[in-house]
Structure 1
């Protein structure tokens, strides 16, 4: 089977290294590419983003050659799901080769009303409590003044981008969409499945026990779904 590039984009505060364990689990025909956002990992000294659009602008510049050089798929969790949808819209608008499949994890349909938590603007104690409850960060992280001082601004800024994001125009994409969602999250399946209106192709949703970071507990299962979905998509072409 022809090699297919799988580009993965992180959740708020996440680094590209989150996806490193996937490398040993993916089949040979999937080539993992983990995109590092500014302000973390190897780009820790770089300025933070002002908008999701700015992130998409950068990705288009850096990854356009890869998108135009062979088949690829996109995966994003939470804020990464917003990035994937907006990126795919931009790819379509510029008449570039579309991804064979996009995967959106831990993110509800972008047109639905969201709870007005505004976690990003909360005082430190409330902010830390909410982040721990979401499951992405352990209490130990916040016990380290050095780590907290370094990464809380990054996490806050990402949360601001995600919480204040408003989709300007809904576009029905030509590529298939597969969604992953935690059963203990706020949305009901009937809400989650409104993602089907974002594609002219095949839509499918998969649900997992757990909250927002179910992705940590079901890595093997998620990778199997990604692999099988891409294989079926390619075989039907």
Structure 2
């Protein structure tokens, strides 16, 4: 009698995560805890933040994409993975996918841009990268995302400002170069209350993919990652796990 042959379990789908301006790997902690075991979340950390705080932050999205590319394992044929970026991270993830294509590397199963207009559009958010310090501080504080207690400690503000200034320089001066659309599905996620990222600007990501676009909206404002981490994890896992099954 032949022994029953068991197929090897499929490796988890690896989900690479890119942060918003001023953020690092830790912004994903609650989101990662809510993901199912079929998804292995791997935050990628541009320089100038958290574990890389001693390094000089970069001021161009394409430079950030090249930097985090070096943190990735070389995608193995047949090993599924996806790219997810939040706000500034959405642009980094987009440029990272195009960089991988130029390398001829295996492509991600999906690109998941969150809380950012399509890369060929400009956000309604005021451009602040070149404003004087007092104006820049005020505008960053108004955007949210930085804990209130930070603003109560001038030494923390002074420590964070070079990173925030560099990140907003990268975002505000970003200009997409023309390339062919990516041959992979996009899941674009935004919030009902995000006044700077309207639904039509999310749907505009469709021109950068040859596949049909999926778009989801959640309650909350621009930083719905912090407000709704479990809901966001469910939306992402519902999209990725069936495709990986």
Matched, 1:22 2:25: no
Which residue in the other structure is 1:84 paired with? 93
Please give the per-residue CA displacement for 1:53-85, whole angstroms capped at 9, x wherever unaligned.
2112222223142x2362111111011000000
Kindly indicate whether residue 105 of structure 2 is the aligned counterpart of residue 68 of structure 1: no
Q: Give the SS at the match of 1:186.
A: coil
Superimposed CA distance per residue, residues 11-50 of structure 1 (whole angstroms, 9 cap, x where no aligned partner): 0110111112233211111111111221111111111213
Aligned pair count reads: 234
Could you tell me whether the CA contact under 8 Å between 2:129 and 2:169 is conserved in 1? yes
CA shift at 1:98, angstroms?
Answer: 0.7
Q: 2:205 aligns with which of 190, 195, 212?
A: 195
Residue among 141, 145, 153 paired with 1:136:
145
Q: Which one of the candidate residues 92, 102, 107 is aligned to 2:116?
A: 107
Q: Which has the larger radius of gyration?
A: 2
Give the 3 Å change call, closer, same or farther, for CA 182–35 of structure 1 in structure 2: same
Cα distance change on mapping 1:149 and 1:125 into 2, 3 Å: same
The yes-or-no answer on 1:156 pairing with 2:165 is yes
Residue in structure 2 matched with residue 232 of structure 1 by the alignment: 242
> Would you say the 8 A contact 1:177–1:203 is kept in 2?
yes
* Whole-angstrom CA distance in 2 between matches of 1:201 and 1:234: 17
The runs of 4+ residues in structure 1 deviating greater than 6 Å are none
Residue number in structure 1 paired with 2:60: 51
| Superposed displacement of residue 200, structure 1 | 1.2
Task: Indicate if the aligned counterparts of 2:190 and 2:217 stay in contact, CA closer than 8 A.
Answer: yes
8 Å contact from structure 2 (residues 59, 169) kept in 1:
no
Paired position in structure 1 for 2:156: 147
CA RMSD of aligned residues (A): 1.8
CA contact (8 A) 1:134 1:213 kept: no
User: Cα distance 1:140–1:122, how it changes in 2: closer, same or farther (>3 A)?
Assistant: farther
TM-score (norm 1): 0.92
Q: What pairs up with 1:152-191 in 2 under 5 angstroms?
A: 152-184=161-193, 185-191=195-201
Can you list the C-alpha shifts for 1:95-152, whole angstroms capped at 9, x where unaligned?
2111111110010011123347221222333222222222211332122122111111
Structure 1, unmatched stretches of 5+, are none
CA contact (8 A) 2:125 2:196 kept: no
Unaligned runs of 5+ in 2: 1-9
Query: In proportion to residue count, which structure has more helix?
Result: 1
Query: Partner residue of 2:22?
Result: 13
> What CA distance in whole angstroms lies between the structure 2 residues aligned with 1:164 and 1:104?
19
Question: In 1, Cα distance between the equivalents of 2:33 and 2:181?
Answer: 34
In the alignment, the residues of structure 1 paired with residue 46 and residue 69 of structure 2 have an alpha-carbon distance, to the nearest angstrom, of: 13
TM-score by length of 2: 0.89
